[in-house]
């Protein structure tokens, strides 16, 4: 029995191999591996895709968050509200600014910020909110932007898992003050290494980010502020430019796979909760994540593995309970939805080239396992 992986990047590469190989060889033979026209071209195309006037590449999604926060002037003494149920990079970037991460709970049907709790967490020190469009499902940005307007808050969208997702007629990353993207290989738009980008409507912010990513320099060897080395390399840019042309089709394939999972898994509601798409938003299914009830998640995961089906847990411990954040005095039980989800989440194989027979194998293994545990 062949093992079905959670993601298969080799299959995606095979669909663009000739074009990708030629583009990379052109870069290698050019002798120019940092900056240049390929990076500028990608930034232009990425901005156009999001219908924002500006985009700037950087070397990771974490750096995109850092650059976005710093470019907006977030710093020591400021509070930034975000989800406790996300990858640590979201909160890392806040702490890198010297600011304080203020965690709030999620809703179990979305895995995203509970916006009522966001509103309740606002204090005079609150300067920004980072909504995380987790698993490719967009946050209700209309509601969040209204909260931000009422309280004069900046919105830094964490779009690391959501390139191509939308709320209403606007793509995520084009709604808040800045959108922050990751091109880690497993993302819907992934490179062949690390990479990231920001999108914005703010020309001043763009200039600040471009200076910060280049050691705080606008003119070579003249440094106006303390910056970092966070450039998107040229090989990543050419690969991302190729993949960007395929992104909408790949996202459609993911949506079809998600719909098929939902249809095939219907009737199991007593044992598992299936993910849903939001009213008013476009989900792009970076993950298809179940909630496994009655404390059976880990047993189910092991049973699936025995039957040749890989699955993943995102995330086994919410951020407020991580040792690195003990200084903030969060308590177990403080965010019960996130804590419960951390014990129940299980992500099934999800990638554009997942075949229908493979999906049927996944579902058959899952149904069989549920009868045995």
Give tens-digit pLDDT for 322-361: 999 999 999 999 999 999 999 999 999 999 999 999 999 9
Domains of the chain: 9-244 (3.40.640.10), 248-372 (3.90.1150.10)
Q: Taking each helix axis from N to C terminus, what angle separates 234-244 and 9-30, rounded to the nearest 10 degrees?
A: 130
SS3 171: strand
Cis status, amide bond into 315, omega within 30 of 0: yes
Which positions ≥6 away from 66 have C-beta within 8 Å? 93, 96, 97, 228, 230
Mean pLDDT of 118-145: 99
Q: What is the mean pLDDT of the chain?
A: 98
Contact 144, 115 (CB under 8 A): yes
CA 310 to chain centre: 21
Tell me: pLDDT of 373 over 80: yes
Contact 142, 170 (CB under 8 A): no
pTM to 2 decimals? 0.97
Tell me: pLDDT of 179 over 90: yes
DSSP-assigned letter for residue 164: T
SS (H, E, C) 25-77: HHHHHHCCCECCHHHHHHHHHHHHHHCCCEEEEECCHHHHHHHHHHHCCCCCC
Mean pLDDT of 363-369: 98
Per-residue confidence band for 1, with pLDDT thresholds at 50, 70 and 90: low
Give tens-digit pLDDT for 274-297: 999 999 999 999 999 999 999 999
Q: At 239, which helix (H) or strand (E)?
A: helix 234-244
Mean pLDDT of 2-11: 96
Contact 126, 101 (CB under 8 A): no
Check residue 361 and give its pLDDT: 97
% of the chain at pLDDT higher than 90: 99
Q: Is the dihedral of CA 212, 213, 214, 219 positive or negative?
A: negative
Give tens-digit pLDDT for 249-259: 999 999 999 99
Contact 265, 259 (CB under 8 A): no
Give tens-digit pLDDT for 43-57: 999 999 999 999 999
Contact 350, 285 (CB under 8 A): yes
How far apart, in whole angstroms, are the C-alpha atoms of residue 296 and residue 213? 45
Pick the closest to residue 128 from 180, 81, 92 (CA basis): 81
Check residue 2 and give its pLDDT: 82
CA 317 to chain centre: 17
Which positions ≥6 away from 130 have C-beta within 8 Å? 65, 80, 81, 82, 83, 90, 94, 155, 156, 157, 158
- Rounded to a whole number of angstroms, the distance between the first and last alpha carbons of the chain is 22
Contact 315, 345 (CB under 8 A): yes
How far apart, in whole angstroms, are the C-alpha atoms of residue 174 and residue 185? 22
Mean pLDDT of 78-96: 99
Mean pLDDT of 204-229: 96
Mean pLDDT of 125-144: 99
Mean pLDDT of 209-234: 96
Q: Residues 180-219, buried b or exposed e (16+ Cβ, 10 A)?
A: bbbbbbebbbbbbebbbbbbbbbeebbebbbbbbbbebee
């Amino acid at each position: 029995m062949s093992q079905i992986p959670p993601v298969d990047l080799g299959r995606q590469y095979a669909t663009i191999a000739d074009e990708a190989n030629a583009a990379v060889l052109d870069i290698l033979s050019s002798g120019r591996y940092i900056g240049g026209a390929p990076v500028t071209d990608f930034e232009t195309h990425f901005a156009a895709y999001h219908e924002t006037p500006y985009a700037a590449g950087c070397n990771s999604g974490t750096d995109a968050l850092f650059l976005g926060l710093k470019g907006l002037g977030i710093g020591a003494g400021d509070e930034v509200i975000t989800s406790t149920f996300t990858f640590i990079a979201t909160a890392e970037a806040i702490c890198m600014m010297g600011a304080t991460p203020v965690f709030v709970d999620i809703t179990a049907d979305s895995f995203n910020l509970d916006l009522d709790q966001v509103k309740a967490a606002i204090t005079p020190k609150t300067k920004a909110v980072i909504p995380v469009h987790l698993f490719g499902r967009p946050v209700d940005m209309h509601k969040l932007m209204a909260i931000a307007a009422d309280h004069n808050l900046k919105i830094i969208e964490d779009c690391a898992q959501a390139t191509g997702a939308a709320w209403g007629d606007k793509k995520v990353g084009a709604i808040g003050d800045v959108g922050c993207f990751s091109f880690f290989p497993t993302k819907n738009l992934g490179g062949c290494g690390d990479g990231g980008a920001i999108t914005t409507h703010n020309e001043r912010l763009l200039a600040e980010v471009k200076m910060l990513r280049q050691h705080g320099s606008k003119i070579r060897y003249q440094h106006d502020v303390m910056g970092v080395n966070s450039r998107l390399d040229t090989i990543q840019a050419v690969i991302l430019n190729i993949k960007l042309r395929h992104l909408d089709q790949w996202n459609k394939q993911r949506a079809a796979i998600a719909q098929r999972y939902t249809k095939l898994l219907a009737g199991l509601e007593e044992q598992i909760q299936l993910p849903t798409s939001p009213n008013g938003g476009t989900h792009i299914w970076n993950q298809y994540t179940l909630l496994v009830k009655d404390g059976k998640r880990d047993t189910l995961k092991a049973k699936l593995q025995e039957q040749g089906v890989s699955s993943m847990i995102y995330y086994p411990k919410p951020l407020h309970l991580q040792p690195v954040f003990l200084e903030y005095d969060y308590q177990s039980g403080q965010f019960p939805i996130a804590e419960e989800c951390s014990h129940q989440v299980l992500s099934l194989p999800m990638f554009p080239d997942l075949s229908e027979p493979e999906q049927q194998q996944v579902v058959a293994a899952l149904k069989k396992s549920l009868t045995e545990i």
